[in-house]
A and B are shown apart, each in its own frame.
Chain A
Amino acid sequence: MTTPARALRRRLVRAVKRVLLYAAALGFTLFAVFPFYWMFLTAFKQNRDLYVGATNLSHVPWIFNAPPTTEHVALLFRNTPYVTWVGNTLLVGLVVVAVTVLLSVPAGYSLARLTGRWGERLGIAIFLTYLVPPTLLFIPFARVIAILGLQNSTWALLLVYPTFTVPFCTWLLMGFFRAIPRDIEEQAMIDGYSRWQVIRKIVFPLATSGVLTAAMFAFTLVLQEFVYALTFISAVGRMTVSLGVPVALVRGDVFYWGSLMAAALITSVPIAIVYNAFIDRFLAGLTAGAVKG
């Protein structure tokens, strides 16, 4: 008689746990997603639906009360420098990625294989430079940029952005190169390849996916950068997206909230998708050096 009752209670407890689990997952997700939902609503609401004071309790701001409109998106692309900013960002991103790959692929391999014990310390030192934040360096850089006469120039960003991409990507690539079995390289050398040929013909081809990951992350780091751009660039036509959207989409004191949120949404979604695709490798690189095993 007690057995069915106990089984029933156990099933009940399990069901409650299940509901709590989904409720918790839902709660965390809503907190994370809420600003993006808000960007979406704002970007497509008509102004008469958008600019209704929050004191008006009969007007529900969480939904479209009037049909959605694309006028803010159209305004963003036609009447604001958004497209120019996207172009600037892509240009800076591509150049910085190229510089980063050229510098950090050889450095990563060297630290992984060729420099021994001394190289390990150097690797950690390079990683620690990633922790030196822009907010500590922007003042000396302001001086350096002034001496070089690069104020308000894209060159300033091209010069400075690798300071955070190179250390990080070197560290990330070091991890990828370590994961390639030594035996392959040793076997090739026994077969008569020189060390340099091994690197060129065997290691680099094997590391392609690692290099791609590093390049993607260098690119997203550039897209996300705000502090240096704010410090060095004041001409609206030379801004990047992450600077121009928050700083220059204003007329006087009035923000174009619809277009602004459209820009935020349109810029964020591709970055978020790329980031998610590569996040596991990113975390492996980030934590592997600090916590082994």
Chain B
Amino acid sequence: MTPSAPPARRPAAFRRATLADRGDVIGRLMIAPALAYVILLVAVPFALAIVLSFSSAIAGEISFNLVGFRNFARVLPDPLFQRALINTVVFTVVSEIIVIALAIAAANVLDAAFVGRRFVRFLLLLPWAVPVSLAAMAWTWIFDSTFSVINWTLKVLGLMSGWLYWLGDPTLAMAAIITVHVWRMFPFSTVIILAGMSAIPPDVREAAIVDGAGFWRRLFHVQLPLLLPVVTVSVLFGVVFTSTDLGVVWLLTRGGPYNSTHVLSSLAFQRGILGADLGQGAAIALFLLPALVIAAVAMLRLARRAEVGA
């Protein structure tokens, strides 16, 4: 401020403090609408999901009775439910392991300087940007039993003698679903890990090279420990997005063949919405909760540790 600049306004000291000066009041007024919306349309439905799982609610009727643990007692011994629970875990764990391995490799590639790097990054991000339902349809067509280009290519290369019915065979259908999850999630993890990589100071790497550490030693003893926080974040998001996904399974297989690829969300949809048994659907969907709680707690701990470290 130059001394000659005239004061734009009367100084605050000479003006009476009004409501417009009360930061705390304004703050509460500003957050209130969003908070009210989130409580009404996330917290209340969330509680309702729990209440419904203990009820005999049926779509189309307003009233319902509480029936205690009856829905859970019906669901737990159901082999279809057990299969869905196992599938959810298998799809999530297997695809996340592949995603992280691919993403660390891809991030290392993108971290190196080469011609067309930005363009490669743009192309790599496409699977994450595209609406999941449209991508799932493209894969459904790629895995088509009659026209699958994968089968044609394997045949021509002489790698396959019989015929692969991708979405008609339980094991292959699971492989197909995992492929789509990996395809969709690995760009997301790559970009997160890449961002973490560029935050590592270059002298750390140089010091390791000077000390004679080879590529693998640098990867496992220097880079990965430093990347652990970002890798954790990407795994947590990956677990949440993959374990709760309905679109991929629903559009690829509808839970088939022979109900072998159902996951919790598709079974909840089938029983709760298509079958109109809201109580049972809610009970099935509720089994997603433990994974979400673990992910949420892990994120909070990570945030707190980062705060203390900062």
Q: Any chain A CB within 8 A of the CB of B197? A: no
Residues of A within 8 A of B172 (CB): none
CB contacts under 8 Å to A, within B123-169, are: 123-139, 141-142, 146-149, 151-153, 155-156, 163
Q: Any chain A CB within 8 A of the CB of B105? A: yes
The answer on a CB contact under 8 Å between B233 and A291 is yes
Contacting residue for A25 out of B49, B114, B129, CB 8 A: B114
Asked whether A246 and B233 contact (CB < 8 A) given A53-B147, A62-B149, A124-B300, the answer is no
Contacting residue for B135 out of A35, A54, A144, CB 8 A: A35
The answer on a CB contact under 8 Å between B37 and A42 is no
Residues of B within 8 A of A291 (CB): 196, 229-230, 233, 302-303, 306
Q: Any chain A CB within 8 A of the CB of B102? A: yes
Residues of B within 8 A of A135 (CB): 244-246, 264-265, 268-269, 285, 288
Asked whether A28 and B240 contact (CB < 8 A) given A132-B46, A261-B138, the answer is no
The answer on a CB contact under 8 Å between A143 and B288 is no
Distance between B17 CB and nearest chain A CB, rounded to angstroms: 8
Asked whether A31 and B30 contact (CB < 8 A) given A61-B149, A140-B46, the answer is no
Contacting residue for B42 out of A129, A142, A287, CB 8 A: A129
User: What's the tally of chain A residues with a CB closer than 8 Å to chain B?
Assistant: 108
Chain B interface extent, by class: 35 or more
Asked whether A25 and B109 contact (CB < 8 A) given A110-B27, A160-B41, the answer is yes
Contacting residue for B21 out of A22, A194, A245, CB 8 A: A194
The answer on a CB contact under 8 Å between A241 and B247 is no
Residues of B within 8 A of A167 (CB): 38, 42
CB contacts under 8 Å to A, within B279-300, are: 281-282, 285-286, 288-289, 292, 295-296, 299-300
Contacting residue for B30 out of A18, A107, A133, A227, CB 8 A: A107
CA distance A189 to B10 in the complex (A): 10
Q: Any chain B CB within 8 A of the CB of A252? A: no
Asked whether A131 and B41 contact (CB < 8 A) given A191-B7, A223-B131, A226-B132, the answer is no
Question: Would you give the 0/1 interface string for A269-293, flagging 1 where the beta carbon is closer than 8 Å to chain B?
Answer: 0011001100100011011011111
Distance between B84 CB and nearest chain A CB, rounded to angstroms: 12
The answer on a CB contact under 8 Å between B296 and A128 is yes
Query: Main SS of the interface on chain B?
Result: helix
Residues of B within 8 A of A113 (CB): 23, 27
Closest to B103 in A: A28
CA distance A287 to B33 in the complex (A): 25
Distance between A251 CB and nearest chain B CB, rounded to angstroms: 15
Contacting residue for A140 out of B45, B156, B288, CB 8 A: B45
The answer on a CB contact under 8 Å between A29 and B41 is no
The answer on a CB contact under 8 Å between A196 and B26 is yes
Q: Any chain A CB within 8 A of the CB of B54? A: no
The answer on a CB contact under 8 Å between B152 and A271 is no
Distance between A276 CB and nearest chain B CB, rounded to angstroms: 5
CA distance A147 to B38 in the complex (A): 19
Distance between A180 CB and nearest chain B CB, rounded to angstroms: 15
Q: Any chain B CB within 8 A of the CB of A163? A: yes
CA distance A167 to B37 in the complex (A): 10
Residues of B within 8 A of A276 (CB): 122, 125, 129
Closest to A272 in B: B129
Residues of A within 8 A of B49 (CB): 136-137, 139-140
Distance between A150 CB and nearest chain B CB, rounded to angstroms: 13
Q: Any chain B CB within 8 A of the CB of A115? A: yes
Q: Any chain B CB within 8 A of the CB of A94? A: no
Q: Any chain A CB within 8 A of the CB of B31? A: yes
CB contacts under 8 Å to B, within A1-20, are: 18
CA distance A246 to B136 in the complex (A): 8
Residues of B in contact with A (beta carbons under 8 Å apart): 7-12, 15, 18, 20-24, 26-31, 33-35, 37-38, 41-43, 45-46, 48-49, 52, 57, 59-60, 62, 102, 105-106, 109-110, 112, 114, 120, 122-139, 141-142, 146-149, 151-153, 155-156, 163, 183, 187, 191-192, 195-196, 229-230, 233, 237, 240, 244-247, 250-251, 264-265, 268-269, 272-273, 278, 281-282, 285-286, 288-289, 292, 295-296, 299-300, 302-303, 306-307, 309-310
Some 16 contacts from A to B, beta carbons below 8 A apart, are A28-B102, A35-B139, A57-B156, A107-B30, A115-B27, A132-B42, A135-B244, A136-B49, A140-B52, A146-B59, A147-B62, A162-B37, A191-B8, A191-B11, A290-B303, A291-B303
